[in-house]
Amino acid sequence: VLQDFTGVPLLCDLAAMRSCARRLQRDSGLIEPVVPVDLVVDHSVQVDHYGAADSLRRNMALEFERNHERYAFLKWGQQAFERLQVVPPGVGIVHQVNL
C-alpha cells in the first residue's frame, strides 16, 4: 500500500526504468512490481468550498482540473503495470483502505 506522496515518485521511477530498458533494447515489460500495489491518492483535495451539500463534488472537480497531468499519469500507470491499482481521491484515506 502506497500513498500518493510516495507512490507518484515510485511510478516515475518505474516509467524511467521502462524507458531505459527500451533504449537498451530490452523487454520493458519485465519492469513490473513483484507484488500487487495499491496506490491510494488521499492527500490531494484542497478545501475551496465548504458548508454546502455539493462542496465535496466541487472541490473534487477543482482537484482534477488543477492536477490533470498528474491524474493522467496515474491512469497511465494503472494501465501500464498489471499489478498496480490506483485508488482515486474521494474513495477513502490510506488508513481506511489498508484495513
pLDDT tens digits, residue range 24-62?
999 999 999 999 999 998 777 789 999 999 998 999 999
pLDDT at 91: 79
Closest C-alpha to 2, from 61, 66, 83, 90: 83
The predicted pLDDT at position 33 comes to 95
Domain coordinates in residue numbering, the chain: 2-98
The CATH superfamily label for domain 2-98 reads Aconitase, domain 3 (3.30.499.10)
User: H-helix or E-strand containing 37?
Assistant: strand 37-40
In the chain, the N- to C-terminal Cα span, in Å, equals 11
Is pTM, for the whole model, over 0.75? Answer: yes
